[in-house]
Chains A and B, each alone.
Chain A
C-alpha cells in the first residue's frame, strides 16, 4: 500500500485522545496508532486505525512528519507502548509456572514468569524477545551488550 503523499492530519481531541481527519475531511475523534513491526522496526510503518481496527492511514516514515504531528503521534504511542528493555538479568530460576525472571529494565525492576522455552525467541542479530505468562513482551536488543553475569544467566537459551 502506498503512503499518502500528504501527511495524515492528526490532532489531540479535547479528551486527550488522538483524533484524525481523513482526506475527505471526516473527523475521527478517537483513533489508535499501531506499530506494524513493533519488534524489528518500531519507528517506521505506523498504522492509524479506528476503534474497530479499520485502518484509516498508514505512516511509513515517522521522521518525515511535521514536528507537531510527530510529537502527538509519539506521545500517543508512548501511552500504549510497553516493551521493557531488559538491561540486567538478576536471576532466572525455576518456579511454579516455568521460569521466574528477575530483571532490571529501562522501566525499573520487575519479576515475571516465562511459561516455556518457546517464549524466549531469538529474532537474529542478538535481538531476543521474552514473552511472559501474560503476553507482555520484554526485549533484549543486543545480547552481546549485556554484562557478562547476565549473559551467563541467559546461557541456557542460546
Chain B
C-alpha cells in the first residue's frame, strides 16, 4: 500500500515537473523561436543510450540576478563528432556552454562577453564548427554540429558578436536588437517548408480526394448493393424450389406440375436479368468514377509540378516523376474501378450473408465462420510486407523510367562513345530490379492467395460434415442444407475477395503515397506570397547584402550592388563563383537566405511572382525549344502575339533570314529541344522569344558561349538590339561579349571582388586583368 502511494507521489511530481518545463519551453519558444528551432530533435527512444536534449533549466539555475537569456544554440555533436547534444546560451553578460557527455553530466562553462576575442563559424564538409577565442585561453574552445544547425549557428554568432560589440562600445543592447529581422526571416522560412496538409493513411486521403464525386460514388454504391441483393435472391429461390417442389415430387411420387415450377423459374430468370442490368450500370458508373478521380489526380499533379521551384526539380529524377503521373495514377484507377466499390459491396454481402446464415441455422453458421479469424490473422501478417514490396516495386519502376529519360535524349552521346552495350546493360539491370521487386510481391502473393482458398475449402468441408450430421438427426431438411452451402460458398467467396482487396489496397496505398508525396511538397515560393501587383518596371535592381545558402554551403556570401535602370552589368568570374546563382536569385527562382533584392525600390519577395517574371527576359546558354512551330516558340512568353510582332522579333534577333529559308518558314516544326536547328539558330530563336515580351530586365547567361565566333557575331548583333534600353545582367566567359557593359562586376567565391569599367579594371591589374590576359593568350595561340 505504502509503496503504491510513494510511486504515485513520484509520478505526480514528475508530471508537475514536466508541465513546468513544458510551459517554460513554450513561453521561451514564443519569445525566440528562431534560435530555438532545432531541425534534428533529440531522440526519444526508450533505449538508455539515447541522447537527451541539453536542457535550458540547467543553465537557468546558474544565471546571476538580473541576467537574462538572449539567444541560444543547440548543438548536436561532440568534438569526436558523435551525436551528443549541447547547448550554447548567450545572456546579457555571458556566453554559457552546457556539454553533456557520457562521463560527466551537464558540465557548464562560461565566458564573460568582454573576454571573447572572436567567435567564428567554420563549415567543415557535412558539419560545422564554432571556434571561440577568449583571452587567457590559448587554443580556444570548439563546438561541432551537423549541417542542420549551421543556419542557426550563423545567426547565433551574429547575435553574440552584436551584443559583445554593443557591450564593449558602452551602449547596452536595445531590446529590439536581440532578434535580428533577417535572422527571424530564416526561422520563418524554415517552418514554411513544413507541409500543412493532413498526413496519414493514403487510402483515406484518396477517399478525401474523391469527395467531389460523392453523388456518383453513392450511385455506384447503390447500384452495387442492388446488384448484389439481386444475385443473393437466387440461392433463396433455389432452396425454396428444392424444398417446396422437388423433394415433395420425389418423395411423394407426385406428378410433375409445370405450374408449380414456372413461378420459380420466372423469378430466377427475373433476378438474373435484374442482376445483369444492375451490374452493367454499376460497372459503367464505377469505371467512370475511377477515370474521373485519376484524371483529376494527373492534372493536379502536373499543375502542382509546374508550381514547384527549380530546387525541387534539381533533386528529382524526371523518369520517377513521369512514373508517378502515369503508372501510379493508372494503378489507382485500376484499384478504384476493380477493387474499391467491390470491397464495399463485399463487406455488405459478407455481413448480409452472415446474417442469413445465422437465420437459417445458428450452430452451422458458427461453424461456417470458423476460418474467418484465421484469414484475418493471415491478412494482418502479410499486409505490411506487401506494402513495402509494392513501394519498392513502384520505386523500381520509377528508376527504370529514369534510365529511359536519361538515355533516349542522350542518344548522341551514347553513340558517340559507342556505349550502346553499356546502356543496354544499365537498362537490363534496372529492368531486372523491376522484375525482382515484382517477383517479391508475387512470391508472397502466390503463397498467400491459395492459402486463403485452402482455409475456405476446409471451412466448406466442415459445413458438409456438420450439415450431414444435422440432416441425419433430422434437424434440417436437405433443401435448407443446399441453400446453406450455397450461401456459405458465397460467403467464403467474399472472404477471399476481401483478403485480396487488402492486398491490392496495399498496392494502391503505395501508389497513392507516391502521388501524395509530390502533392504535399509545398511550393517554396508560392506566387500568392508576393501580393504586390506590378505593371512594367523601370528596371532598377538593388542587391542589399544578399546571401544565399544551399544546404550547408554558403554560395553567395553577401553581395551589395546597385544597378540603375537601363544599365548593363557584365558578370565575370571563374565557374562556381556564384554568378548563375546570383542570376537565379534575381529571377526569383530561389529566395535569398539573407539580405534583400529590391526592384524599383520594392522587395522582390513582396512582388507577385508572375507579374515580375513578365518583366524578365532570359536567354540561356543552352536554349530550350519546345515541341511546336518556330512561331509558337518565339511567342512562348506571349501566346497572343500578332504575326507582325513575331516577325519583328525574329528580325531583331537576326533569325528572320534563316527562318525564311526553311521549307515551312515560321510554321516549321522544331522537335523536342529543336534538334533540327543549329546551336546558333536555336539561340537566335530564344533571343527572339526574349525580345517579344519586351522585358524591362534582361538576363543573359552565357548566351554566346556555345557557338562559333561567326555565329557569335550574329548573335551579338541580335543581342545589341535586345540590350538597348533595358537593364541587363550578362554573364560571359568571352569578355568581348561584354564590351557594351557599363560596369563589369568580378565575382569570386560568392563575393564581389572588383567593380569598374573594362579600362579601370585592366589598370588595377586584379582578377579581371588576369582573366583578360589569359583570354588574349588563348586567342593568340
Contact = CB atoms under 8 A, between A and B. Distances in A.
B93 interface: no
Given A97-B193, A108-B84, A134-B39, A116 B316 contact: yes
B317 A79 contact: no
Contacts, number: 113
A147 to B, nearest CB: 15
21 contacts: A52-B749, A79-B81, A79-B124, A96-B194, A104-B49, A107-B82, A108-B51, A109-B47, A110-B76, A110-B83, A111-B41, A112-B40, A117-B320, A132-B148, A134-B39, A134-B150, A135-B552, A136-B126, A152-B388, A157-B395, A158-B437
A135 B47 CA distance: 27
Given A82-B124, A109-B50, A110-B40, 9 more contacts: A82-B81, A84-B83, A94-B199, A96-B199, A108-B83, A109-B47, A109-B49, A112-B148, A134-B40
Given A97-B195, A135-B147, A109 B83 contact: yes
A156 B392 contact: yes
A118 B194 contact: no
B43 A117 contact: no
Contact of B395 (A97, A110, A117): A117
Contact of B551 (A102, A110, A135): A135
B430 to A, nearest CB: 11
Nearest to A108: B83
Given A80-B124, A96-B195, A109-B45, A118 B147 contact: no
B224 interface: no
Contacts of A108: 49, 51, 82-84
Interface of B is mostly: mixed
A109 B43 contact: yes
B616 to A, nearest CB: 29
B546 to A, nearest CB: 21
Interface of B: 39-41, 43, 45, 47, 49-51, 76-77, 81-84, 124-127, 139, 146-148, 150, 193-195, 199, 315-317, 320, 385, 387-389, 391-392, 395, 398, 437, 510, 513-514, 517, 551-552, 749
Interface centre among A80, A137, A152 (most CB of B within 10 A): A80
Interface string A95-125: 1111000101101111111011111000000
Contacts of B126: 82-83, 135-137
Nearest to A117: B395
A134 B389 contact: no
A82 B316 contact: no
A90 interface: yes
A98 B521 CA distance: 9
A26 B510 CA distance: 60
A155 interface: yes
A134 B552 contact: yes
A81 interface: yes
Q: Which 8 A-B residue pairings sit nearest by Cβ, starting from the closest? A: A156-B391, A108-B83, A155-B388, A135-B551, A134-B147, A156-B388, A82-B126, A134-B148
A16 interface: yes
A136 B147 contact: yes
Contacts of B437: 158
Interface string A5-45: 00000000000100000000000000000000000000000
A134 B124 contact: no
Contacts of A79: 81, 124
Q: In the complex, which of the residues A81, A82, A104 has the most CB atoms of chain B within 10 Å of its own CB atom?
A: A82
A82 to B, nearest CB: 4
B42 to A, nearest CB: 8
B770 to A, nearest CB: 14
A133 B514 CA distance: 18
A111 B43 contact: yes
A97 B47 contact: no
Contacts of B195: 96-97
Contacts of A81: 81, 125
Nearest to A15: B139
Nearest to A52: B749
A148 B251 CA distance: 66
Contacts of A78: 81
Contacts of B83: 84, 105, 107-110
Query: Counting chain A CB atoms within 10 Å of each CB, which of B126, B146, B392, B510 scores highest?
Result: B126
Contacts of B82: 107-108
Contacts of B150: 134
Nearest to A119: B315
Contacts of B398: 117
Contacts of A16: 139
Nearest to B398: A117
Interface of A: 16, 52, 78-84, 90, 94-98, 102, 104-105, 107-113, 115-119, 132-137, 152, 155-158
A56 to B, nearest CB: 17
Contacts of A52: 749
Interface class of chain A by DSSP: mixed
A82 B395 contact: no
A63 B392 CA distance: 40
Contacts of B77: 107
A83 B199 CA distance: 31
Contacts of A83: 126
B125 A155 contact: no
A81 B127 CA distance: 8
A65 to B, nearest CB: 21
A153 to B, nearest CB: 8
A109 B391 CA distance: 26
A134 B146 contact: yes
Contacts of B49: 104, 108-109
B771 to A, nearest CB: 15
Contacts of B389: 155-156
A83 B126 CA distance: 8
Contacts of A118: 315-317, 320
A129 B77 CA distance: 21
A132 B124 CA distance: 17
Nearest to B50: A109
A23 B229 CA distance: 92
B134 to A, nearest CB: 15
Contacts of B387: 156
A117 B321 CA distance: 11
A117 B324 CA distance: 12
A52 B83 CA distance: 30
A104 B552 CA distance: 23
B521 to A, nearest CB: 8
Nearest to A94: B199
Given A81-B81, A109-B49, A137-B126, A155 B392 contact: yes
A156 B395 contact: yes
B43 A80 contact: no
Residue of B195, B316, B317, B388 with highest tally of chain A CB at under 10 A: B388
Contacts of B510: 156
Nearest to B84: A108
Given A82-B125, A134-B148, A155-B392, A111 B40 contact: yes
B43 A110 contact: yes
Contacts of B517: 98, 116-117
A136 B775 CA distance: 39
A30 B428 CA distance: 48
A90 B317 contact: no
Given A79-B124, A108-B82, A158-B392, A134 B551 contact: yes
B51 A109 contact: yes
A5 B201 CA distance: 62
Contacts of B139: 16
Contacts of B513: 94
Contacts of A110: 40, 43, 76, 83
Contacts of B551: 134-135
- With a 10 A CB-CB cut-off, give which of A110, A111, A133 has the most chain B CB atoms: A110
Taking each of B139, B317, B513, B517, which has the highest tally of chain A beta carbons within 10 Å of its own beta carbon?
B517
A158 B49 CA distance: 29
